[in-house]
Amino acid sequence: MATLLCASLVGCAPAKPYLDKGMTLSEAGFIAHPADTTARYAMMNTLPPGQLTYRPSPAGFIYLYADPIGCGCVYMGSEAAYRIFSTGQQKGKKPAPLLADMQAMAAENRRDTAAWDWSAWSPNADPGGNQPRHVTGGYW
């Protein structure tokens, strides 16, 4: 009986929709970047959780999906990854329902007037072992 109860609760976990979307994004070519420093965590929190959006970069638009509950990360993808995701070309999936396409993402992008700091996501941006790092749910 206890096993059945636990199995039924796993399907209701609040992280499940985020994890499912994360799997779909990964299959399309998006890369998960952990929000494992305070700067990255702050940047992740400027994005709408569980919604696809974009930010301009020197290389063009980078599409972003903040997952604060499932993995505590931001999925980042190129134009090509976004195209694969939006048309459902990965492993025979049907097209993904998006915000309301580019118009809604553009509106969200205009709403967020803070400058997106791409340097926080570079591999050498980690402040080191003696600096505070953020972990979803607490600090260490």
pLDDT digits (tens, 9 = 90+) for 41-64: 888 988 888 888 888 888 888 999
Q: Is the pTM of this model over 0.75?
A: no
Quickly state the pLDDT bin for 73 (edges 50, 70, 90): very high
**Residue 86: its pLDDT value, please?**
83
Give phi and psi for 12, each to the nearest 5.
-100, 5
**Nearest-angstrom CA–CA distance, 136 and 60:** 30
- Which residues are CB-neighbours of 47 under 8 A, at least 6 positions away? 53, 64, 65, 66, 74, 112
